[in-house]
Amino acid sequence: MYGAFPAMNSTGLPINTTQVSIVNNKTLEIVRMTFLILSYFCFCFFIYFITMILYIFFSNAQIRESARYVLFAHMLINDTLYLIGGLFLLVASLYLAFIPVPVCYVIVTLVSCTFRITPYNLAVMSLERYVAICHPLRHAEFCSGHRSTTAVALIWALGLTPNVVDFITLSLSAEKRFFSLRVICSKETLTVNPTQNTIRSNVLVITLCLVASIIIYTYIKVMLVAHKLGSGTSSAIKAGRTVLLHALQLLLSMMSLISLYIEVNVKEYVVLLAISNFLFFMCLPRFLSPLIYGLRDEVFGKYLRKLYSVHVSIKLR
Protein backbone atom coordinates (compact mmCIF):
# COMPACT_ATOMS: atom_id res chain seq x y z
CA MET A 1 0.00 0.00 0.00
CA TYR A 2 2.72 2.42 0.95
CA GLY A 3 4.73 1.40 -2.06
CA ALA A 4 2.23 3.16 -4.27
CA PHE A 5 3.43 6.56 -3.02
CA PRO A 6 6.83 8.20 -3.52
CA ALA A 7 9.09 8.63 -0.52
CA MET A 8 8.52 11.83 1.43
CA ASN A 9 11.08 14.12 3.05
CA SER A 10 10.64 16.12 6.25
CA THR A 11 8.94 18.97 4.44
CA GLY A 12 6.17 16.70 3.18
CA LEU A 13 7.26 17.00 -0.50
CA PRO A 14 8.09 13.99 -2.66
CA ILE A 15 11.88 13.52 -2.73
CA ASN A 16 11.92 12.74 -6.45
CA THR A 17 9.94 15.89 -7.23
CA THR A 18 12.28 18.01 -5.11
CA GLN A 19 15.37 16.52 -6.76
CA VAL A 20 13.94 17.07 -10.23
CA SER A 21 13.09 20.66 -9.33
CA ILE A 22 16.64 21.29 -8.09
CA VAL A 23 18.14 19.75 -11.24
CA ASN A 24 15.83 21.80 -13.46
CA ASN A 25 16.71 25.00 -11.62
CA LYS A 26 20.43 24.29 -11.93
CA THR A 27 20.06 23.49 -15.63
CA LEU A 28 18.06 26.65 -16.19
CA GLU A 29 20.68 28.73 -14.39
CA ILE A 30 23.50 27.19 -16.47
CA VAL A 31 21.63 27.85 -19.71
CA ARG A 32 20.79 31.37 -18.60
CA MET A 33 24.40 32.18 -17.73
CA THR A 34 25.62 30.65 -21.01
CA PHE A 35 23.28 32.80 -23.07
CA LEU A 36 24.10 35.90 -21.03
CA ILE A 37 27.84 35.38 -21.47
CA LEU A 38 27.29 34.87 -25.20
CA SER A 39 25.19 38.06 -25.32
CA TYR A 40 27.88 40.03 -23.48
CA PHE A 41 30.58 38.65 -25.77
CA CYS A 42 28.65 39.59 -28.92
CA PHE A 43 27.83 43.00 -27.47
CA CYS A 44 31.51 43.69 -26.68
CA PHE A 45 32.53 42.67 -30.20
CA PHE A 46 29.82 44.95 -31.60
CA ILE A 47 31.02 47.88 -29.46
CA TYR A 48 34.63 47.28 -30.53
CA PHE A 49 33.73 47.26 -34.22
CA ILE A 50 31.45 50.30 -33.86
CA THR A 51 34.21 52.18 -32.02
CA MET A 52 36.61 51.57 -34.90
CA ILE A 53 34.10 52.82 -37.48
CA LEU A 54 33.18 55.90 -35.43
CA TYR A 55 36.88 56.62 -34.87
CA ILE A 56 37.35 56.65 -38.64
CA PHE A 57 34.29 58.89 -39.04
CA PHE A 58 35.25 61.51 -36.46
CA SER A 59 38.95 61.57 -37.38
CA ASN A 60 38.35 62.28 -41.08
CA ALA A 61 36.95 65.72 -41.96
CA GLN A 62 36.03 64.68 -45.50
CA ILE A 63 33.92 61.77 -44.27
CA ARG A 64 32.20 63.96 -41.68
CA GLU A 65 31.00 66.31 -44.45
CA SER A 66 29.32 63.49 -46.39
CA ALA A 67 25.59 63.13 -45.70
CA ARG A 68 25.80 59.43 -46.47
CA TYR A 69 28.38 58.80 -43.75
CA VAL A 70 26.71 61.15 -41.26
CA LEU A 71 23.54 59.07 -41.54
CA PHE A 72 25.53 55.84 -41.33
CA ALA A 73 27.33 56.98 -38.16
CA HIS A 74 24.01 58.07 -36.69
CA MET A 75 22.53 54.64 -37.41
CA LEU A 76 25.41 52.96 -35.56
CA ILE A 77 25.09 55.26 -32.54
CA ASN A 78 21.32 54.72 -32.48
CA ASP A 79 21.69 50.92 -32.66
CA THR A 80 24.25 51.04 -29.84
CA LEU A 81 21.84 52.96 -27.60
CA TYR A 82 19.09 50.48 -28.49
CA LEU A 83 21.23 47.49 -27.55
CA ILE A 84 22.46 49.06 -24.30
CA GLY A 85 18.88 49.76 -23.22
CA GLY A 86 17.68 46.34 -24.38
CA LEU A 87 20.49 44.53 -22.55
CA PHE A 88 19.72 46.45 -19.36
CA LEU A 89 16.03 45.53 -19.55
CA LEU A 90 16.90 41.88 -20.24
CA VAL A 91 19.21 41.54 -17.22
CA ALA A 92 16.78 43.45 -14.98
CA SER A 93 13.89 41.17 -15.96
CA LEU A 94 15.90 37.96 -15.62
CA TYR A 95 17.04 38.80 -12.09
CA LEU A 96 13.73 40.44 -11.10
CA ALA A 97 15.32 43.80 -10.32
CA PHE A 98 12.80 46.35 -9.10
CA ILE A 99 13.41 49.78 -10.63
CA PRO A 100 11.74 53.13 -9.86
CA VAL A 101 9.01 53.86 -12.39
CA PRO A 102 10.56 57.17 -13.62
CA VAL A 103 13.90 55.43 -14.32
CA CYS A 104 12.10 52.51 -15.96
CA TYR A 105 10.10 54.86 -18.16
CA VAL A 106 13.23 56.67 -19.35
CA ILE A 107 14.89 53.36 -20.32
CA VAL A 108 11.78 52.00 -22.06
CA THR A 109 11.45 55.33 -23.89
CA LEU A 110 15.07 55.07 -25.05
CA VAL A 111 14.55 51.52 -26.36
CA SER A 112 11.23 52.21 -28.09
CA CYS A 113 12.40 55.50 -29.59
CA THR A 114 15.66 54.09 -30.98
CA PHE A 115 13.69 51.12 -32.36
CA ARG A 116 11.52 53.51 -34.41
CA ILE A 117 14.46 55.70 -35.42
CA THR A 118 16.18 52.82 -37.25
CA PRO A 119 13.60 52.62 -40.10
CA TYR A 120 13.37 56.44 -40.28
CA ASN A 121 17.12 56.63 -40.71
CA LEU A 122 17.05 53.93 -43.40
CA ALA A 123 14.39 55.90 -45.29
CA VAL A 124 16.52 59.06 -45.23
CA MET A 125 19.59 57.08 -46.37
CA SER A 126 17.57 55.74 -49.30
CA LEU A 127 16.44 59.27 -50.20
CA GLU A 128 20.06 60.41 -50.13
CA ARG A 129 21.00 57.73 -52.68
CA TYR A 130 17.96 58.72 -54.76
CA VAL A 131 19.07 62.36 -54.88
CA ALA A 132 22.66 61.35 -55.66
CA ILE A 133 21.59 59.32 -58.71
CA CYS A 134 18.41 61.00 -59.96
CA HIS A 135 19.34 64.62 -59.16
CA PRO A 136 23.16 64.64 -59.09
CA LEU A 137 23.46 68.38 -59.80
CA ARG A 138 21.48 69.21 -56.66
CA HIS A 139 23.02 66.54 -54.44
CA ALA A 140 25.54 68.91 -52.88
CA GLU A 141 22.74 71.37 -52.10
CA PHE A 142 20.25 68.92 -50.61
CA CYS A 143 22.68 66.52 -48.94
CA SER A 144 25.23 68.75 -47.27
CA GLY A 145 26.67 67.98 -43.85
CA HIS A 146 24.52 70.69 -42.26
CA ARG A 147 21.29 69.40 -43.84
CA SER A 148 22.07 65.83 -42.80
CA THR A 149 22.51 67.01 -39.19
CA THR A 150 19.13 68.75 -39.45
CA ALA A 151 17.64 65.52 -40.82
CA VAL A 152 19.00 63.60 -37.81
CA ALA A 153 17.37 66.14 -35.45
CA LEU A 154 14.04 65.77 -37.28
CA ILE A 155 14.33 61.98 -37.10
CA TRP A 156 14.72 62.15 -33.32
CA ALA A 157 11.82 64.59 -33.01
CA LEU A 158 9.65 62.22 -35.05
CA GLY A 159 10.81 59.22 -33.05
CA LEU A 160 10.13 60.87 -29.68
CA THR A 161 6.67 62.23 -30.55
CA PRO A 162 4.79 58.93 -29.83
CA ASN A 163 6.59 58.67 -26.49
CA VAL A 164 5.50 62.19 -25.55
CA VAL A 165 1.90 61.27 -26.36
CA ASP A 166 2.31 58.01 -24.42
CA PHE A 167 3.68 59.87 -21.39
CA ILE A 168 0.77 62.33 -21.42
CA THR A 169 -1.70 59.42 -21.63
CA LEU A 170 0.07 57.61 -18.78
CA SER A 171 0.16 60.73 -16.59
CA LEU A 172 -3.56 61.34 -17.06
CA SER A 173 -4.51 57.68 -16.49
CA ALA A 174 -2.24 56.50 -13.67
CA GLU A 175 -2.60 57.28 -10.00
CA LYS A 176 -0.09 59.71 -8.51
CA ARG A 177 1.54 57.04 -6.35
CA PHE A 178 2.26 54.97 -9.48
CA PHE A 179 5.36 57.05 -10.22
CA SER A 180 6.77 56.38 -6.74
CA LEU A 181 6.59 52.59 -7.14
CA ARG A 182 9.41 50.18 -7.90
CA VAL A 183 8.55 47.70 -10.65
CA ILE A 184 10.07 44.99 -12.83
CA CYS A 185 10.78 47.18 -15.83
CA SER A 186 8.93 46.41 -19.05
CA LYS A 187 6.63 48.10 -21.52
CA GLU A 188 3.68 46.12 -20.18
CA THR A 189 4.29 47.38 -16.64
CA LEU A 190 4.03 50.97 -17.88
CA THR A 191 0.78 50.33 -19.75
CA VAL A 192 -2.20 51.40 -17.64
CA ASN A 193 -4.52 52.52 -20.43
CA PRO A 194 -5.52 50.54 -23.57
CA THR A 195 -5.06 53.77 -25.54
CA GLN A 196 -1.29 53.38 -25.09
CA ASN A 197 -1.31 50.05 -26.96
CA THR A 198 -3.51 51.55 -29.67
CA ILE A 199 -1.08 54.44 -30.15
CA ARG A 200 1.91 52.09 -30.34
CA SER A 201 0.23 49.78 -32.85
CA ASN A 202 -0.90 52.62 -35.11
CA VAL A 203 2.51 54.31 -35.03
CA LEU A 204 4.22 51.02 -35.89
CA VAL A 205 1.94 50.32 -38.86
CA ILE A 206 2.26 53.88 -40.19
CA THR A 207 6.05 53.78 -39.78
CA LEU A 208 6.44 50.48 -41.62
CA CYS A 209 4.14 51.52 -44.47
CA LEU A 210 5.80 54.92 -44.87
CA VAL A 211 9.37 53.64 -44.77
CA ALA A 212 8.63 50.66 -47.04
CA SER A 213 6.97 53.00 -49.58
CA ILE A 214 9.99 55.33 -49.57
CA ILE A 215 12.47 52.49 -50.03
CA ILE A 216 10.44 50.89 -52.85
CA TYR A 217 9.99 54.26 -54.60
CA THR A 218 13.69 55.17 -54.40
CA TYR A 219 14.75 51.71 -55.58
CA ILE A 220 12.47 51.87 -58.64
CA LYS A 221 13.66 55.37 -59.53
CA VAL A 222 17.33 54.49 -59.11
CA MET A 223 17.03 51.31 -61.18
CA LEU A 224 15.22 53.20 -63.96
CA VAL A 225 18.21 55.54 -64.17
CA ALA A 226 20.54 52.54 -64.19
CA HIS A 227 18.52 50.99 -67.02
CA LYS A 228 18.77 54.19 -69.05
CA LEU A 229 22.52 54.35 -68.57
CA GLY A 230 22.79 50.73 -69.67
CA SER A 231 25.94 50.05 -67.67
CA GLY A 232 26.20 47.17 -65.25
CA THR A 233 29.02 48.87 -63.37
CA SER A 234 27.44 52.32 -63.10
CA SER A 235 27.04 54.17 -59.83
CA ALA A 236 23.28 53.82 -60.27
CA ILE A 237 23.57 50.03 -60.07
CA LYS A 238 25.62 50.36 -56.88
CA ALA A 239 23.09 52.80 -55.46
CA GLY A 240 20.28 50.37 -56.28
CA ARG A 241 22.08 47.62 -54.40
CA THR A 242 22.58 49.97 -51.47
CA VAL A 243 18.84 50.73 -51.36
CA LEU A 244 18.17 46.98 -51.46
CA LEU A 245 20.46 46.61 -48.46
CA HIS A 246 18.41 49.28 -46.71
CA ALA A 247 15.31 47.18 -47.40
CA LEU A 248 17.07 44.11 -46.00
CA GLN A 249 18.09 46.08 -42.93
CA LEU A 250 14.49 47.21 -42.45
CA LEU A 251 13.32 43.59 -42.52
CA LEU A 252 16.06 42.57 -40.09
CA SER A 253 15.27 45.38 -37.67
CA MET A 254 11.59 44.41 -37.74
CA MET A 255 12.48 40.82 -36.83
CA SER A 256 12.27 41.80 -33.17
CA LEU A 257 8.48 42.03 -33.64
CA ILE A 258 8.51 38.25 -34.09
CA SER A 259 9.86 37.93 -30.56
CA LEU A 260 6.78 39.69 -29.18
CA TYR A 261 4.50 37.12 -30.82
CA ILE A 262 6.62 34.22 -29.57
CA GLU A 263 6.76 35.47 -25.98
CA VAL A 264 3.00 36.04 -25.87
CA ASN A 265 2.05 32.63 -27.28
CA VAL A 266 4.79 30.42 -25.78
CA LYS A 267 5.10 31.04 -22.06
CA GLU A 268 6.51 27.74 -20.81
CA TYR A 269 10.12 28.83 -21.22
CA VAL A 270 9.94 32.54 -20.48
CA VAL A 271 13.57 32.94 -19.39
CA LEU A 272 15.10 31.12 -22.35
CA LEU A 273 12.76 32.89 -24.76
CA ALA A 274 13.69 36.31 -23.41
CA ILE A 275 17.42 35.64 -23.84
CA SER A 276 17.18 33.93 -27.24
CA ASN A 277 14.83 36.61 -28.58
CA PHE A 278 17.21 39.33 -27.43
CA LEU A 279 20.18 37.57 -29.00
CA PHE A 280 18.66 36.53 -32.33
CA PHE A 281 15.95 39.11 -33.00
CA MET A 282 17.40 42.25 -31.40
CA CYS A 283 21.19 41.83 -31.47
CA LEU A 284 21.83 39.84 -34.65
CA PRO A 285 20.19 42.31 -37.09
CA ARG A 286 22.15 45.19 -35.57
CA PHE A 287 25.40 43.19 -35.54
CA LEU A 288 24.98 42.60 -39.27
CA SER A 289 24.40 46.29 -39.98
CA PRO A 290 27.99 47.57 -39.46
CA LEU A 291 29.38 44.46 -41.13
CA ILE A 292 27.20 44.90 -44.22
CA TYR A 293 27.70 48.64 -44.62
CA GLY A 294 31.14 49.10 -43.04
CA LEU A 295 33.05 46.35 -44.82
CA ARG A 296 31.14 46.80 -48.09
CA ASP A 297 31.88 50.52 -48.31
CA GLU A 298 35.13 51.31 -50.11
CA VAL A 299 36.10 54.22 -47.86
CA PHE A 300 35.45 52.51 -44.53
CA GLY A 301 36.81 49.22 -45.84
CA LYS A 302 40.10 50.89 -46.76
CA TYR A 303 40.48 52.60 -43.39
CA LEU A 304 39.48 49.47 -41.47
CA ARG A 305 42.11 47.42 -43.27
CA LYS A 306 44.66 50.13 -42.54
CA LEU A 307 43.75 50.22 -38.84
CA TYR A 308 43.84 46.43 -38.63
CA SER A 309 47.27 46.27 -40.29
CA VAL A 310 48.58 48.88 -37.84
CA HIS A 311 47.25 46.89 -34.85
CA VAL A 312 48.79 43.68 -36.18
CA SER A 313 52.17 45.33 -36.77
CA ILE A 314 52.16 46.80 -33.24
CA LYS A 315 51.40 43.38 -31.72
CA LEU A 316 54.15 41.73 -33.76
CA ARG A 317 56.67 44.21 -32.38
Q: Is residue 290 part of a domain?
A: yes
Q: How far apart are CA 99 and CA 88, in angstroms?
A: 11
pLDDT at 292 over 90: no
Q: Is residue 313 part of a domain?
A: no
Tell me the per-residue pLDDT of 81-109, one tens digit each, with 9 for 90 and over: 998 998 888 888 878 889 999 999 999 99
Q: Is residue 9 part of a domain?
A: no
Closest to 102 in 3D by CA, of 167, 165, 164: 167
The total number of structural domains that make up the chain: 1
- Under 8 Å between Cβ of 189 and 104: yes
- Under 8 Å between Cβ of 140 and 122: no
Q: How far apart are CA 268 and CA 199, in angstroms?
A: 29
Q: Is residue 1 part of a domain?
A: no
183 SS3 class: strand
Closest to 159 in 3D by CA, of 211, 113, 108: 113
Q: Is residue 89 part of a domain?
A: yes
Closest to 196 in 3D by CA, of 158, 167, 175: 167
pLDDT at 113 over 90: yes
Instruction: Read off the CATH number of the domain in which 37 is found.
Output: 1.20.1070.10
Q: Is residue 20 part of a domain?
A: no
Q: What is the DSSP letter of 297?
A: S
Closest to 188 in 3D by CA, of 196, 180, 176: 196
H-helix segments, the chain = 15-59, 61-64, 67-94, 101-134, 139-142, 145-173, 194-229, 235-253, 256-265, 270-277, 284-296, 298-316
Tell me the per-residue pLDDT of 134-163, one tens digit each, with 9 for 90 and over: 888 888 888 887 888 899 999 999 999 999
Q: What is the pLDDT of residue 124?
A: 92
Q: Is residue 311 part of a domain?
A: no
Residue 56 sits in which domain range?
28-183+193-303
Q: Is residue 92 part of a domain?
A: yes
